[in-house]
Every structure is written in structure tokens, then in C-alpha cells.
Amino acid sequence: MIGARDAQTRSANPPYDRFIVAFRGRTMADTLAELAGQLEKRVKDLRGGRDDAALLAAARDAADQIERRRGALDGDAHEALQMVQRMTFNAAADCWPGWSVSDKPIKSDILLAARDLAERSLELVQELGFGPLRLGTGAWLVGAFDLALGRHLEAIDIFRGARQNYVDASAPGLVLLTDGYVAIARQLAGDQASGEDLDQVCKRIAAGGFEHGDDWIAQLRTALEVFTGKNS
């Protein structure tokens, strides 16, 4: 759950166009995993930039290329799909606005495109059998975009599913972190009657002595500030 980028639309001669031209000039990869590695490198080159639309389009198109060429889930396909899962997750996560407070407008088309990538990444986590910890984080990201889109009840349902994955993975700190996101979604939905509020969850995180506890508390409070401001 780390990353932050400002959403911008595609400009003239954007990085994504250069990505396509550069890739088309390359020699054909010998294996699916080699192709995935080339594509992932070019998606990485767009990360840290200011054009979220270009980043998401590049990650989506890279994933499409691998999906079109894949066959049975042999070793080569498994390696390639791991890279697809990683690049789609990271590209989506970079576009989540809850990481930091910004005066940039939150654009619904970027959120929807990023949510689609997050869902695609989660499906690959399931197919590749990565286990409950990765399932929890993949589901959390989908819920995080529902939160950003104002779909608070949907976000709560997904966060609760992610929480159960973290319980199954014996990750108590991430259970509490996800409780914090449930509390944020409930507050934004106007539900103050059931469950803990964010302050209570943060106190439990602080009392837990977790290595990243302070970071998690800051992450939660930042997300609340971002989405409270969005709805005000």
C-alpha cells in the first residue's frame, strides 16, 4: 500500500506514444516471459511521471499483449503473468489519490481505469495462487478505488473481504489497517452508529507496537483528509 501520483490527461507526443514506438522497434522476444519483461520495463519508465492516463494505458496494453499470447499455465506463462500482475497492481496503485493531499482534481475516468487494472491484478493473484496475504492487498486496492469513487458501501464490503484474507494470513497489523479503511468508508457514508471510528482504530494500531504502525496511522489520516475534502 505505497505510492502516489497526480492524474493528468495525455498531452501532445506523450510518453505512452514514445513507449509504443520504442517497443515496436524491438526484436521479437523469444519467450512470453521475455516479452513481459520488456513491456514491464517500459511501463516502469512511465511510473513517477505526471501522466496517469499514459501509465494506465501502457499497463493495460502490455497486459493485453501477454493475455493474447498466453496458452496453458506452464512455467513461461506463469513467470509472464507474475510480471503482469505486478505491473497492473503498481500502475493502479500509483494512481490512487489517497496517498497524499493535493490540489489536483480527482478525475473519475482515471479512477475507473485504475480500478479496472486493480481488479485485473486481483484476478491474476487468484489464478496464480499467491495466497491470502496477496489476495488481501489486491482486494484492498480495488476497495480503495471504490472509496475514491464515493462507492462507500461497496468499499466496505471489499475491505471486509480483504480483512478476512489478512486474518487468514496471520497479519494482525494489516487487519487493523484495513479496519481503519472500513472506519473511513463508514464515516464518509454517514454511518457513525456501528463499529469503531478511525481514532479508535489508530489507538489500537499505536498500542500494537507494529514496525510500520506510525506509517499506517499517517496513511489512514491522510486518506481521510483527501476524501473528506473531495466530498466537502
- Residue ending a domain, among 71, 97, 130, is 130
DSSP state of 25: T
Q: Is the model's pLDDT at 52 over the cut of 70? A: yes
- Single out the residue in 101, 130, 159 at which a domain terminates: 130
Say which range, 5-19, 43-57, 88-102, has the weakest mean pLDDT: 5-19
- The reported pLDDT for the residue numbered 85 is 97
Predicted confidence at residue 231, as pLDDT, reads 54
186 and 211 in a single domain? The answer is yes
The CA–CA distances, whole Å, from 101 to 4, 14, 188, 218, 227 equal 10, 26, 17, 12, 9
Query: Are the C-beta atoms of residues 177 and 220 closer than 8 Å to each other?
Result: yes
Residue 3's pLDDT is what? 38
139 lies in the same domain as 110: no
Q: For residues 228 and 155, state if they share a domain.
A: yes
| Same domain as 142, residue 118 | no
Q: Are residues 157 and 227 in the same domain?
A: yes
Q: Which domain-ending residue is among 64, 97, 130?
A: 130
Q: What's the confidence (pLDDT) of residue 105? A: 86
Q: pLDDT confidence of 192, banded at 50, 70, 90?
A: confident
70 & 12 share domain:
yes
Task: Based on the fold, state whether residues 27 and 47 are members of the same structural domain.
Answer: yes
pLDDT at 184 over 80: yes
Is pLDDT at 8 greater than 50 in this prediction?
no
Mean residue pLDDT of the chain comes to 88
DSSP H/E element including 139: helix 132-148
Kindly tell me if the per-residue pLDDT of 21 is higher than 70. no
- Does residue 27 register a pLDDT over 60? no
Domain extent, residue 165, equals: 132-232
68 and 162 in a single domain? The answer is no
Confidence label for 30 from pLDDT (cuts 50, 70 and 90) = confident
How far is residue 3's CA from residue 14's CA, in Å, rounded to a whole number?
Answer: 22
Looking at the fold, whether 78 and 183 belong to one and the same domain comes out as no
Query: How many domains would you assign to the chain?
Result: 2
Residues of the chain with pLDDT > 90, as a percent, come to 75
Q: Quick one: the chain helix, strand, coil %, rounded to 5?
A: 70, 0, 30
Integer Cα distance of 139 and 30 in angstroms:
33
Cell numbers placing 197? 471510528
Whether residue 115 sits in one domain with residue 184: no
Q: Quick one: pLDDT at residue 69?
A: 87
Q: Is the pLDDT of residue 13 over 50?
A: no
What pLDDT does 92 receive? 98
pLDDT above 60 (res 106)? yes
The mean pLDDT value for 133-146 works out to 99
* Residues 107 and 118 placed together within one structural domain of the fold: yes
Please indicate, yes or no, whether residues 115 and 202 belong to a single structural domain of this protein.
no
Of the pLDDT bands very low, low, confident and very high (cuts 50, 70, 90), residue 166 is very high
Q: What pLDDT digit, counting tens, does each position of 121-130 carry?
A: 999 999 999 9
pLDDT of residue 73: 74
Q: Which amino acid is at 107?
A: K
pLDDT at 122: 98
